[in-house]
Amino acid sequence: MLNKLKPIECKHAKAKDKDYKMSDGAGLFLLVAKSGSKYWRMKYRSNGKEKLLSIGVYPTVSLKEARVKRDEAKKQLNNGIDPSEFKQTAKQTDLEDSFEYVAREWHTKYKPNWTENHAQRILTRLEKDVFPWVGKRPVDEINAPELLKLLRRVENRGAIETSHRVMQNCGQVFRYAVATGRAERDPTGDLKGALPPVRKKHLASITEPTKIAGLLRAIDGYEGHFVTRCAMKMAPYVFVRPGELRHAEWSEIDLDNAEWRIPAEKMKMRELHIVPLSDQVISILKEIQLLTGNGRYVFPSIRTNTRPMSENTVLAGLRRLGYTKEEMTGHGFRSMASTLLNEQGWHRDAIERQLAHAERDSVRAAYNYAEHLPERKRMMQSWADYLDALKIGAEVIPFKKLG
């Protein structure tokens, strides 16, 4: 018999010592939990197995609405459709159309092409500035004014550059949604010119020889942690990116051949990078090898040797030496080398290759990690000798020596 229950019975059903059921017929029943909560459930059989379909919570779902949902489930069963599986698929379909789902799928797909830090920065940006506002919205329903509203929130806290990066990442997600058939177009194209331009910031660097000499002498006199001191001493000689320096591993270092080969997955441009090691760098590495050589990282964290040193360690060391953010940064060693090596007349391509700057020709980029390597080896030793001469106060002629 169908429709056994009455609305008044559902309303006044009281909790007991244990859960109990109130049947309405055709598999539908109200489960009254001992906590007092009430749930609509439907018992049915599919492919010979007994199953339960969750229909909703009473009184949010009324007796009348529960019966409608039961009848819909019965029709599905008659058509050979399992109502529980259909419900799960419908939920998943809704989820897969949301901006957050598409964005996380895009991030997972492209993450192998990025460095770990870059991938984490993108995800953090989306989780902080995008998902709370439009994450649950269907990706094909989000429009330009809606995006501009969330971008203004970022802009209003003074993070102009971040607002541009957020818009760039959103555009990448929308284009991925278009490619996978979940959106018609990328609305970020309508926002061109809507954000104020980013003022180009030049990372602070010291390029005047007498000031470089003072910096090098200050680093030699650093009285902080030994690992930090070694990293700071090595930084001006190799002028790699700060993240590449702190993630250096002993397995990448070949002291016999005087080379440090940084794997592609650690590089910003995602290609193997060779750093020729000068005599000075080899001396630093042999010194720290006594302390950290049995571990993974050349410059491990102060707290544990299973992780590399913090990204702010070298920067904090510079601050401890009295150099402000307007005077010198960890990236500043790269500008220092670029400026002076160009002034000294070294081949521009050799300098750019050693700085591991972007290679516009992607085919060429796959093979050019060793490009200009003989000249780069000479250049790196000459550069180290030049820095040492500055440090001891010798008169240095800022031109490349012939031969």
Task: Please give the distance of CA 210 from its chain centroid, rounded to a whole number.
Answer: 39
Give me the pLDDT at residue 95, please: 79
* Exposure letters 229-261 (e unless 16+ CB within 10 A, then b): bbbbbbbbbbbbbbbbbbbbbbeebeeeebebe
Q: Which residues are catalytic?
A: 241, 268, 331, 334, 357, 367
Give me the pLDDT at residue 8, please: 93
Instruction: Tell me the one-letter amino acid at 289.
Output: Q
Q: Which of 191, 217, 250 marks a domain boundary?
A: 191
- First-to-last CA distance in the chain? 102
183 within 8 A of 177, measured Cβ to Cβ? yes
**Residue 200 falls inside a structural domain:** no
CA distance 27 to 50: 11
Measure Cα distances from 38 to 11, 17, 43, 53 in Å. 10, 14, 16, 15
Residues 140 and 228 in one domain: no
Alpha helices in 180-308 (DSSP H): 209-220, 226-238, 242-246, 279-292
Apex 282 CA angle, 335 and 350, nearest 5? 40
SS (H, E, C) 358-375: CCCCHHHHCCHHHCCHHH
Residues 71 and 157 in one domain: no
Phi, psi torsion values for 364, nearest 5 degrees: -65, -35
Residues 41 and 143 in one domain: no
Residues 230 and 372 in one domain: yes
60 within 8 A of 27, measured Cβ to Cβ? no
Give me the pLDDT at residue 368, please: 64
C-alpha dihedral sign at 309, 311, 316, 319: positive
Q: Which of 57, 89, 121 marks a domain boundary?
A: 89
Q: How is residue 260 written in tokens? A: 């440090």
Domain count, the chain: 3
Burial class (CB in 10 A: 0-12, 13-18, 19+), 106: buried
Closest residue by Cα to residue 137 from 101, 176, 179: 101
**Residue 403 falls inside a structural domain:** no
Phi, psi torsion values for 137, nearest 5 degrees: -75, 145
Residues 180 and 146 in one domain: yes
Give me the pLDDT at residue 152, please: 95
C-alpha dihedral sign at 150, 152, 155, 157: negative
Residues 236 and 302 in one domain: yes
Give me the pLDDT at residue 393, please: 82
**Residue 201 falls inside a structural domain:** no
CATH number of the domain to which 321 belongs:
1.10.443.10
**Residue 2 falls inside a structural domain:** no
Beta bridge partners of 253: 260
Q: How is residue 11 written in tokens? A: 């309303």
139 within 8 A of 180, measured Cβ to Cβ? no
Residues 183 and 213 in one domain: no
If you ran DSSP here, which 8-state letter would residue 181 be given?
A: T
If you ran DSSP here, which 8-state letter would residue 261 be given?
A: E
Q: Which of 191, 223, 241 marks a domain boundary?
A: 191
CATH number of the domain to which 186 belongs:
1.10.150.130
Q: How is residue 252 written in tokens? A: 């990448």
Cis-peptide, bond into residue 59, ω within 30° of zero: yes
Give me the pLDDT at residue 318, please: 94
Helical packing angle, 226-238 and 332-343, nearest 10°: 30
Q: In what order do the strands lie in the sheet with 253-254?
A: 253-254, 259-262, 273-276
Give me the pLDDT at residue 361, please: 47
3-class SS of residue 305: coil
Helical packing angle, 63-78 and 83-96, nearest 10°: 100
Would the pTM of this model clear 0.85, i.e. be above it? no
Phi, psi torsion values for 31, nearest 5 degrees: -90, 115
Residues 28 and 135 in one domain: no
Which residues 6+ apart lie within 8 Å of 223 measured at CB?
none
If you ran DSSP here, which 8-state letter would residue 402 be given?
A: P
**Residue 138 falls inside a structural domain:** yes
Give the domain extent around 68. 7-89
Give me the pLDDT at residue 35, please: 87
Query: At CB < 8 A and 24+ separation, what contacts does 32-36 make?
Result: none
Give me the tens of pLDDT residue by residue for the chain, a chain 403 residues long. 567 899 999 999 999 999 999 999 989 999 999 888 899 999 999 888 899 999 988 988 899 999 999 999 999 888 888 888 887 776 666 677 899 999 999 999 888 888 788 889 999 999 999 999 999 999 999 999 999 999 999 999 988 999 999 999 999 999 999 998 888 899 999 999 999 987 755 668 999 999 999 999 999 999 999 999 999 999 999 999 999 999 999 999 999 999 999 998 888 777 899 999 999 999 999 999 999 999 999 999 988 889 999 988 999 999 999 999 888 998 899 999 999 999 999 999 899 999 988 654 444 444 566 778 999 999 999 999 999 999 998 655 554 443 3
Residues 341 and 266 in one domain: yes
Task: Please give the distance of CA 286 from its chain centroid, rounded to a whole number.
Answer: 33
User: Hey, how many other C-beta atoms are within 10 angstroms of the C-beta on 90?
Assistant: 10
